[in-house]
Amino acid sequence: MAGDGTNIDKLCQKARQAIEQRDWNRARQAYLQALTLKPDLPDVHYGLATVYFQLRDLASAAQHFREVTRIDPLRASAHINLGAVCNLLQQYDEAVAALRKGIQLDPQRVEGYYNLGLVYRRMGQPDLAIQAYREALRLNPRMADAHLNLANIHLEKGQFRPAAQHYEQALNLRPNWEKATAGLTSAREALVAEQAAAASAPAASDPTAQVDPDRHRTYLTNLHQATTETDNDLIVCHQVLEKELEPSIKDLSSALLYRQHPSSELDECVDKFEAAIENLRVAHQKLQTHMARLRTLEEQFPR
């Protein structure tokens, strides 16, 4: 047994030397020989997974990262690397599960959040991707790639100002970066177009300029009442969004993103979110009713 240990150490040393020389095939052979002597060595599987990744054999890389997580389930980096590789293999569910596990084991792993952002964007869940990138930037504000990817999502969502801000931060960290430069140009052009459209929008007419307060008292009373009700509805909608829906989304996203909460707490988050959605629906329905009344009064405007 002692001899096997010595041989394994020599083979691992040979593999590491081959990696330094970027001789991936020789490193692979050395690690495989070590595994024939002792199959359950997490460090050897980890090294072999890294070599397979360099050889662009992603399926084999994923297989050996899975072996590391099986043998050494508390190794956060193995879970995170498994998630990154599964993302490239388009195995998104496993990627998310592995990355969440890695983050749970080590919440300070910036690459965990970054790769989670990549997965969520590929899954068509931009809001979760934004949260993941923000966490990555909270841990490392100088992560240029996170700024770029976050800017790209904001641009796709039509949020041109935050997109421009993150493109600028990416360029501050990596000057003359073509991708960030092109994105910043697009965001700025979209902002200019948006401002021009707002400036050219026709101004609302002023009913009081053509209405006689004495002759049109009933009309003005109805208009005032409808305007007040609509204004109150807008306030209610804003309060539901700010005090109910936004906090419930944050709590639910946190529960889904980190999976550190018990199932009962997740159910509670879901209930709060559904209640907030229902309250917003009711408030929005009232707002639509009163806005319809305003439109009717506009059609009845005294000429």
Tell me how far apart the alpha carbons of residues 126 and 152 are, in angstroms, rounded to a whole number.
Answer: 10
Give the pair of three-digit tokens for residue 266.
């997740």
Q: What is the dihedral of CA 39, 63, 130, 100, to 10 degrees?
A: -40
Instruction: Give the pLDDT score at 274.
Output: 83
Instruction: Give the pLDDT score at 1.
Output: 47
Distances (CA, A) of 297 to 91, 209, 235, 289: 56, 16, 22, 13
Instruction: Give the pLDDT score at 215.
Output: 56
Per DSSP, the residues of the chain read -HHHHHHHHHHHHHHHHHHHTT-HHHHHHHHHHHHHH-S--HHHHHHHHHHHHHTT-HHHHHHHHHHHHHHSTT-HHHHHHHHHHHHHTT-HHHHHHHHHHHHHH-TT-HHHHHHHHHHHHHTT-HHHHHHHHHHHHHH-TT-HHHHHHHHHHHHHTT-HHHHHHHHHHHHHHSTT-HHHHHHHHHHHHHHHHHHHHHHHSPPPP-GGGT--TTTTHHHHHHHHHHHHHHHHHHHHHHHHIIIIIHHHHHHHHHHHHH--S-HHHHHHHHHHHHHHHHHHHHHHHHHHHHHHHHHHHHHT---
Instruction: Give the pLDDT score at 295.
Output: 72
Instruction: Give the pLDDT score at 261.
Output: 54
What angle in degrees, to the nearest 10, is found between the helix axes of 217-240 and 263-299? Answer: 160
Tell me how far apart the alpha carbons of residues 56 and 164 are, in angstroms, rounded to a whole number.
Answer: 35
Residue with tokens 């980890």: 46
Q: What is the pTM of this model?
A: 0.65
Instruction: Give the pLDDT score at 2.
Output: 47
Residue pair 149/117 in contact by the 8 Å Cβ criterion: yes
Per-residue pLDDT of the chain (303 residues; tens, 9 = 90+): 445 668 999 999 999 999 999 999 999 999 999 999 999 999 999 999 999 999 999 999 999 999 999 999 999 999 999 999 999 999 999 999 999 999 999 999 999 999 999 999 999 999 999 999 999 999 999 999 999 999 999 999 999 999 999 999 999 999 999 999 999 999 999 999 988 888 776 655 555 545 556 556 676 677 667 777 777 777 777 676 778 877 777 776 777 776 555 666 777 877 887 887 888 788 777 777 777 776 776 666 655
